[in-house]
Structure 1
């Protein structure tokens, strides 16, 4: 079978009306001997690329899809092979998409990349997330029926490309045999846009980003320019401080489809309900519908999504799903650098040092579960990095040596971890002993006009991250960075602020290691009907010649908007003077606190621009503000504490 016949038959035999000519060289050129301009062979002759194949969705819309076919001397292989699929809103013709697609094709897979609905080559309107379950299902099953495919499909991809994998799985496509979600959430409300009920602004900035190159903006460069001015740097901080936005009052109104998405996702569905439970947003509500398949869950400690990846993995294990693996490294979003923020983690025990290492792990994963290669080394089920143990000196690249090491074990969290409470005490102490005071509390004043700067996790690009991108958006010493004029004093320690409560242990007599799930329990009261409570766990290095004031390394964090203390479905405002018990998760973590270091817990009521500014009124649509006097209680009957998973 020659190349023309094979490719033409492959598409014509797919059983889809109107697609017979998609790879039909004669129909495309009028000359059976002339090459289709959509068809090209790689220089080595080992891959044939077929561009812009229209793949039909159930509503009749056709999404543009590129096929990378393993070949010999420019002729696609005749035998059927498994397929790997990446669906993207970021342009299937981006160099990184092409590079990864070529990699899998050269290693024996029908490699497929598709532009999501309404993005780049694919027609239609783009509404993030909601449209992806059905489109993903249809794409998987269409690829599986292609004669070049043996009926098995695996999926991969990072960020939104991880979202679409979870969304596709909610409808249980029979041909989806495995997936590798890398840094994406399993629930848009719980883990992404409404962290603890507060507005998680990273995805709002992302909506602006995709709007800046969406259909409307690509038709009018002035729209791109206007949206870009509000989505980056100081422009985004200023717009974020004006939340809640109103329809028609921002440059986003120039791109109506994206304005609609932003308002439904951020400003019109504050409480958890049916809108969030649909398969495109509440994917974990549909875990039972997922195919019973191997999943490789991947995330970095300083990405958006360590808790959702960790929780999703644990949920599947509890459900009895076999061959669940998790990989957690000391990374930010979509990079595998060991130096991020102003911290260096080293490479002790690293099997992933660069992106190519990760691609080869993905390849081995697909070889194991799509080709049945039991010799493919996919490592232990739980592969995670324990931070800490470094000498705390400034390294050659100017970053502190936090150090760390990899663990390869059978489960996550490790079975030997034990939940241990560290209590907040009067006077700022932190200790495993329960408070003995009958009455003890600390009050601070939170003013929405003077927020604490977010510092230490990859969410919103500002400050140093603007120069270094994702690599810059990692852990940093707890020194205030400039956000909005009049908010904080840039260069001053966050702990020096009067609206930040600091509780820390004595210097540790012996090292202490944590690995697993973390929880905060606070007993609180306030004179405001609503306010936020934010908790950050820190590893405090002692003073050294390189860091005379010590160094506060951010280990974990979490937030809860007080009106959601009982449920996200039915918010309840606070009564002045009433004491409430708040319990909420922090991000999972793994860190070794060296002897001589201190464990510190900071409590405050803002983290901008990672989260929106709570104006303390209790009405999310109110642009007025009020000061809140917030109290943390820490006595014997109302103890406040963090629960840490201490390794025995």
Structure 2
């Protein structure tokens, strides 16, 4: 019996043809699984859905996978078609996963969604990231050999579903022809968990979220309750202030597999070692092994991952990989809203306003590279949003009009961008001219018991952001928010704190636009063996009837833990009073600073809860604290500055 006849027989029945009726798994899975197992199939108009097909991995474990097959009259089409694959730890039966899978199937693709190892219907234990290269490779090649597939596979997905794409590509599966990683990192250490050597707490909170519905928690609802309380709202901030955690001493110990993952990823491997270089964590270490394929790199300015997406795209271009495209919008994580945080950006010139718009771009991308449709419009290679240029008034929704415009160009960063130094000067001035003073510096006192609140590009939703989720985690005026008791004064300007250094230009005489990579160079000294230096770039609006004190719009930020100033492979403590040169990247950005605005640079030593609290002892496992007196030098021989990518 041929495949079409077989599936027709499996779907035969009254009412909705074959709803929930069993299919012979060997046929449904293309002959790859044992006959003693069964999947189930149902027809949904022009799509046949085959659920819970066990796809075998190289170690003998099966991962449960749903196939969405284009059909006519409830029967899969005979013609083999390209396949698109999404692998998820979030449940392949989530409505959004089903919606996206159905979209691609209805547009002529074998659409495949799989539960990652140890998640929901798939067996085994879940250890984030490290298991995905082999599982991804085996799944891609299994899909490519399925009778419904023509041997070509593309991948898509957001967040962890982007991680798994990068991880799969490290092993060079021959059937992987293109991918669309949307908001995910190319290196877990550099861009996610150890940003500048500081612990990025957003992924620690994420580990708690997946632990709360992991295997242990699903077997015992009380575990879910305990972990949920730990991971949300003020309680998470309290736990985050008590890092490093110790095994067995938090509610996460109720889910041992997730506790072990948290400790290995956060508290056991501080330096950049071979642990981080493995394909599941150091994906950019293996770029040479990637298939030579088109990639659409997608991110938002206020997401977790603009720098990694920008760096990854640029690395592939430098390697000579063709058909690399990048899309950067004014978004937070997994949304395309033009109003986020406290800011309106507007939609003028936007080709993506809703998630449906983005799905259609993905479809055109797959049509171009999996079906060879040269008429599919995938736009220019670089599609990015330049923020700024709005009227700065408060709109009806209560948000400031920052404004902006879309650019469609041949490269990112723009070829016309020129790195231009803006120097820190005595008295809080920021200017292109280098300082001439023989000695000049500013000292501030950083107390780990009184951190500065993360505000603007905060990864951990807290305070006002809790109500709005990812859309609430966008840009905000630089006003302190309540984090931990006794930390800061909520409602006061961050710039008014004595432990925040502020350097700003005079009001700009004309518009100034930046687009591209941003680098901080600080000459510093300290009386502590280790401390953090955090830099934020701001677009300061002048006073107005709506904002009598002006408005400080966050453009970019970056951090470096001083003990990693010579590299992340080994920490080197500081000697009191010695001057050190720190050079570290900020997040890339694109912003128009209007005439009359100021460019401002803030320097301080904490940003909680985005990053863990550096207790200044130099020993990450030491829970004691000490005050650090930190100095930033801005003199002729030690000219601290920001390098900004100016457009003419």
**1:17: how far off?**
4.1
Alignment of 1:369-388 (within 5 A): 369-388=369-388
Are 1:40 and 2:42 matched, yes or no?
yes
Tell me, yes or no, if the aligned pair for 2:29 and 2:53 is still in contact at 8 Å: no
CA distance in 2, matches of 1:118, 1:13: 21
Question: Hey, what does 1:29 align to over in structure 2?
Answer: none
* 3-state SS of paired residue (1:264): helix
Secondary structure of 2:638's partner? Answer: coil
- Unmatched 5+ residue regions in structure 2? 11-22
SS state of the match for residue 358, structure 1? helix
Normalised TM-score (structure 1): 0.96
Q: Is the 8 A contact 1:11 1:146 kept in 2?
A: no
Q: What does 1:112-511 correspond to in 2, within 5 Å?
A: 112-511=112-511
Superposed CA offset, 1:521-576 (max 9, x none): 00000000000000000000000000000000000000000000001001100000
| CA shift in 2, pair 1:17/1:633, >3 Å | same
Aligned CA RMSD, in angstroms, stands at 1.1
Q: TM-score, normalised by structure 2?
A: 0.96
Tell me what 2:548 maps to.
548
Counterpart among 32, 36, 49 of residue 16 in structure 1: 32
Structure 1 residue matching 2:216: 3-state secondary structure:
helix
Mapped contact 1:11–1:22 kept (Cα < 8 A): no
- Paired with 1:389 and 1:620, the residues of 2 have a C-alpha distance of 43
**How far off its partner does 1:11 sit?**
2.8
Q: Secondary structure at the match of 1:634?
A: strand
Aligned equivalent of 1:85: 85
C-alpha distance in structure 2 between counterparts of 1:159 and 1:21, whole Å = 32
How far is 1:464 from its partner?
A: 1.1
1:202 counterpart SS class: helix
Number of corresponding residues: 632
Check conservation: 1:11, 1:19, Cα contact below 8 A.
no
CA contact (8 A) 1:422 1:431 kept: yes
Equivalence for 1:572: 572
Query: Which ranges of structure 1 fall in alignment gaps of 5 or more residues?
Result: 24-37
Per the TM alignment, residue 10 of structure 1 is displaced from its structure 2 partner at its CA by: 7.5
Q: Deviations over 1:82-103 (max 9, x none)?
A: 0000000000000000000000
1:185–1:192 Cα contact (<8 Å) kept: yes
Q: What corresponds to 1:625 in structure 2?
A: 625
Structure 2: distance between partners of 1:219 and 1:77? 40
The alignment partner of 2:555 has SS state of: strand
Contact 2:197 2:560 in 1 (8 A): yes
Alignment of structure 1 residues 104-119 onto 2, 5 Å: 104-119=104-119
Residue-by-residue CA offset, 1:285-320 (whole Å, 9 max, x unaligned): 000000000000000000000000000000000000
User: Structure 1 residues 219, 448: closer, same or farther in 2, change over 3 A?
Assistant: same
Q: Distance in 2 between matches of 1:604 and 1:206?
A: 26
Rate the CA distance shift 1:339–1:12 in 2: closer, same or farther, 3 A: closer
SS at 2:639 equivalent? coil
| Residue pair 2:364, 2:376 contacting (<8 A) in 1 also | yes
Shift of 1:620: 0.2
Deviation at 1:4, TM superposition (A): 3.3
Rounded to whole Å, the distance in 2 between the matches of 1:21 and 1:12 is 11
Shift of 1:458: 4.1
Alpha-carbon distance between aligned partners in 1 of 2:29 and 2:225, rounded to the nearest angstrom: 46
CA apart distance, 1:14? 2.8
Q: Which residue of 2 aligns with 1:517?
A: 517
